[in-house]
Amino acid sequence: MDLSSLARPQALRGGSTGALGAHAARRRSVQLLRPRRPTFRCSVEAAKQQVQGTLAAEAEAARKECFGVFCTTYDLEADEKTKSWKKLVNVSVSGAAGMISNHLLFKLASGEVFGQDQPIALKLLGSERSLQALEGVAMELEDSLYPLLREVSIGIDPYVIFEDADWALLIGAKPRGPGVERAALLDINGQIFAEQGKALNAVASRNVKVIVVGNPCNTNALICLKNAPNLPAKNFHALTRLDENRAKCQLALKAGVFYDKISNMTIWGNHSTTQVPDFLNAKINGRPVKEVIKDTKWLEEDFTITVQKRGGVLIQKWGRSSAASTAVSIVDAMRSLVTPTPEGDWFSTGVYTTGNPYGIAEDIVFSMPCRSKGDGDYELVKDVAMDDFLWGRIKKSEAELIAEKRCVAHLTGEGNAFCDLPGDTMLPGEM
């Protein structure tokens, strides 16, 4: 047997799962790696130490090991179908035991983002508190029998879970509970994103695409990219696609059309209640929104506020924040980067403002209109209209992000933090 063609089992690779992916032939065998049993020792003390050692080894193994059936090595070439498959894509997800991930992971594994010829490895990041739940997630992934899902690993160390990541979906963040100051939340979550930025910088693919979902996502994305100086800042995104989708839905409802008739929808700014859903440039059936919806008061007030506060209203109804629709919007955001943007249209994403053509402050993460050739990269859309109303709103969101940035200076390597946040702004989910 030529052992060199065997996929290496996960434990030998320090935290990833069994197969090497790609096209190469992999021999099928099942290897479930378990910690070795201790040899017997004669003193009680030694026995105690041995048991403790075993428990520690088992805990360590549980943190690192590939999960169940995903430890299986396999022969890709033995399967006719897989011959046309692309190279394995590694997707790392934090907050993987949370509500959003519970929808998202199954979409990723089914091929919804990358298509039916793209095998996928899911690397799931949890914490001590969520490790058991993470095993439950992995069990459900096993039981779903997704042909494209070739590897699943679970762990609590970002330096292991982000290794070779082509995509990093950073969802895990502490939710803002009652009595938690916005400044305190920025600090607590900022620490998470600073550490994850460093880990990505050290071990991820050099062209990793990072989508920050955990709130406050724009400033978390800024912290993350500042802590990853060896990765292109351009590759970091803050998710504002849910806001775009919400805005499209509201315009469609008002105009009495199905939402596929809405295009060119920009969300400018922060994923917060200062966000700016842009009805000046958006189109309905290819016509400017203002030609179709003549009620300017509705556009400037009701529409804008409804989109800004949609998350909070949903929390009041559901008792928890948007999870399924957020997962859908993450899929949309990823697909927008891996498929060419339809002619004349664009999508919104929060990106690093360096050399932006609109005059928005540099060195923050701001949602803007983008187009992609489908290669994972994007360009800003240059020819957008601006009026006083739109610009005034944009400046308010910009001011909020600049204030947030000052508040996390200690996490971005820019000196002492000074926190003076505008009092009237909130996350979309806050009321």
Ligand X SMILES: NC(=O)C1=CN([C@@H]2O[C@H](COP(=O)(O)OP(=O)(O)OC[C@H]3O[C@@H](n4cnc5c(N)ncnc54)[C@H](OP(=O)(O)O)[C@@H]3O)[C@@H](O)[C@H]2O)C=CC1
Ligand Y SMILES: O=C([O-])CC(=O)C(=O)O
Residue 323 vs 360, nearer CB to ligand X: 323
What's the one-letter identity of residue 274? T
Question: Which of the ranges 71-79, 155-163, 191-199, 421-429 carries the binding residues for ligand Y, by CB under 6 A?
Answer: 421-429
Question: Which of the ranges 155-163, 219-227, 348-356, 422-430 carries the binding residues for ligand Y, by CB under 6 A?
Answer: 422-430
308 binds ligand Y (CB under 6 A): no
User: Peptide bond preceding 216: is omega within 30 degrees of 0, i.e. cis?
Assistant: yes
Is there a catalytic annotation at residue 103?
A: no
The one among 239, 276, 289, 368 contacting ligand X by CB under 6 A: 239
Strands (E), 286-410: 287-288, 347-352, 365-371, 379-380
217 binds ligand X (CB under 6 A): yes
Cβ-count burial of 255 within 10 angstroms (0-12 exposed, 13-18 middle, 19+ buried)?
Answer: middle
The least distance separating ligand X from the CB of residue 229, rounded to whole angstroms, comes to 24
245 binds ligand X (CB under 6 A): no
Residue 383 in tokens: 């020819």
Report how far residue 65's alpha carbon sits from residue 68's, in angstroms, rounded to the nearest whole number. 9
Residue 347 in tokens: 């999508």
- What, of ligand X, ligand Y, none, does residue 37 touch, CB below 5 to 8 Å by kind? none
321 binds ligand Y (CB under 6 A): yes
Residue 327 in tokens: 């997962």
The least distance separating ligand Y from the CB of residue 41, rounded to whole angstroms, comes to 52
Instruction: Please give the DSSP secondary-structure letter assigned to residue 298.
Output: I
What's the one-letter identity of residue 419? C
Q: Return the residues of window 269-288 that contact ligand X according to CB under 6 A.
A: 271
311 binds ligand Y (CB under 6 A): yes
The least distance separating ligand Y from the CB of residue 277, rounded to whole angstroms, comes to 13
141 binds ligand X (CB under 6 A): no
Question: Which of the ranges 89-97, 138-146, 382-390, 423-431 carries the binding residues for ligand Y, by CB under 6 A?
Answer: 423-431
The one among 215, 235, 281, 372 contacting ligand X by CB under 6 A: 215
The least distance separating ligand Y from the CB of residue 428, rounded to whole angstroms, comes to 3
Residue 77 vs 195, nearer CB to ligand X: 195
98 binds ligand Y (CB under 6 A): no
Report how far residue 271's alpha carbon sits from residue 429's, in angstroms, rounded to the nearest whole number. 10
Among 131, 147, 14, 129, residue whose Cα is nearest residue 74: 147
The least distance separating ligand X from the CB of residue 115, rounded to whole angstroms, comes to 24
Report how far residue 304's alpha carbon sits from residue 277's, in angstroms, rounded to the nearest whole number. 6
Supply φ then ψ for residue 134, to 5 degrees.
Answer: -65, -35
Q: Return the residues of window 195-214 that contact ligand X according to CB under 6 A.
A: 213-214
Place of tokens 């249209």: 345
The Cβ-side half-sphere exposure at 52, using a 13 Å CA radius, reads 6
Residue 9 vs 190, nearer CB to ligand X: 190
99 binds ligand X (CB under 6 A): yes
Would you tell me how many other CB atoms lie within 10 Å of the CB of residue 258?
8
Residue 335 in tokens: 């697909």
- CA dihedral (395, 399, 405, 406) in degrees, to 10, reads 150
Residue 19 vs 330, nearer CB to ligand X: 330
Residue 404 in tokens: 């947030």
The one among 10, 72, 215, 349 contacting ligand Y by CB under 6 A: 215
Among 389, 394, 353, 388, residue whose Cα is nearest residue 370: 353
Supply φ then ψ for residue 27, to 5 degrees.
Answer: -75, 140
97 binds ligand X (CB under 6 A): yes
Please report which helix (H) or strand (E) contains residue 167, including its range: strand 167-170
Among 403, 430, 406, residue whose Cα is nearest residue 417: 406
The least distance separating ligand X from the CB of residue 358, rounded to whole angstroms, comes to 22
Residue 103 vs 198, nearer CB to ligand Y: 103
429 binds ligand Y (CB under 6 A): yes
Residue 271 vs 393, nearer CB to ligand X: 271
Report how far residue 233's alpha carbon sits from residue 156's, in angstroms, rounded to the nearest whole number. 25
Q: Return the residues of window 322-361 that contact ligand Y according to CB under 6 A.
A: 322
The least distance separating ligand Y from the CB of residue 361, rounded to whole angstroms, comes to 23
100 binds ligand X (CB under 6 A): yes
Place of tokens 């805990």: 59
Site string for ligand X, 168-187 (x = CB under 6 A): ---xxxxx------------
Place of tokens 């060119």: 264
Give the interface with ligand Y as residue ranges (CB under 6 A).
Answer: 215, 242, 311, 321-322, 427-429
Query: Which residues are known catalytic residues?
Result: 271
Give the interface with ligand X as residue ranges (CB under 6 A).
Answer: 95, 97-100, 126-127, 129-130, 171-175, 192, 213-215, 217, 239, 242, 271, 321-323, 326, 429
